[in-house]
Chain A
């Protein structure tokens, strides 16, 4: 069945370092991907998205890379800050579909002082 998985359940980084969170997806029909950030006790917050016709997209301190060949995407956070500590989910979907998204299991990012 369709699934989106994350390579690492937890990730600890030193404040100021760069973070890389990875995600693998299995559905070849997925052509749209989103990264969400969820802080404890809150709903997920949109970070950045990317379509399958791109392999890289940059935002403010974040970059998403997409490798369709191996069905892998990653979220890079530059100069990680304490406020970046949260669970990060990748989600995949199909453009023009019922807009449903399939969520990965999440990676807990902890920023160490």
Chain B
């Protein structure tokens, strides 16, 4: 099956620092990648949709200057949480959709647990 690698799996940082999370599709080309945020015992909340070579589309209420997304290639998208604060602590998950036949299936990374002190 399609493999999506997300790194790092866990990060602890001080308030005010920026954190970059990488999402890579390892065995397929991902024309579209998605970034989600998940709070404990809750569902996935879509933050933004990222298409290779174009600007990301952010969901309502998600600050684009706070959560910078770059989708520079068909296999890599990054999410940078700028000037992180304790309220940004959460589980961030990326997913990728291929350009192939199963293009509606999103394959997920393992997630990144962000803790801001």
- Chain A residues contacting B111 (CB-CB under 8 Å) are 41-43
Chain A residues with Cβ under 8 A from B105's Cβ?
A: 34, 46, 49
Closest to A94 in B: B104
Structural contact, A43 and B108, CB atoms closer than 8 A: yes
Name B64-103 residues within 8 Å CB distance of A.
93, 95, 97, 103
Interface size of A as a range: 20 to 34
Q: State whether the Cβ of B42 lies closer than 8 Å to any Cβ in chain A.
A: yes
B43 located at the interface, meaning its Cβ lies under 8 Å from any Cβ of chain A in the complex:
yes
* Chain B proximity mask over A89-113: 1 for CB below 8 Å, otherwise 0: 1000101001111011110000000
Could you mark each residue 102-117 of chain B with 1 if its beta carbon is under 8 Å from any beta carbon of chain A, else 0?
A: 0111111111010000
* B49 interfacial by beta-carbon distance below 8 Å: yes
**Among A42, A99, A103, A104, which residue has its beta carbon within 8 angstroms of that of B104?**
A99
Expressed in whole angstroms, the minimum distance between the Cβ of B29 and any Cβ of chain A is 14
1/0 per position for B39-62, CB-CB distance to A under 8 A? 001111010010000000100000
Answer whether residue B32 sits at the interface, using C-beta atoms and an 8 A cutoff: yes
Measured CB to CB, the closest approach of chain A to B72, in angstroms, equals: 20
Contact A46 B1 (CB under 8 A): yes
One of A42, A101, A105 near B106 (C-beta < 8 A): A101
In Å, the complex CA distance between A112 and B74 comes to 43
* Residue among B41, B44, B93, B111 with the highest chain A CB neighbour number at 10 A: B44
| Chain B residues near A (Cβ < 8 Å) | 1, 4, 6, 32, 34, 41-44, 46, 49, 57, 93, 95, 97, 103-111, 113
- Tell me the A residues contacting B by CB distance below 8 Å: 32, 34, 36, 41-46, 49, 89, 93, 95, 98-101, 103-106
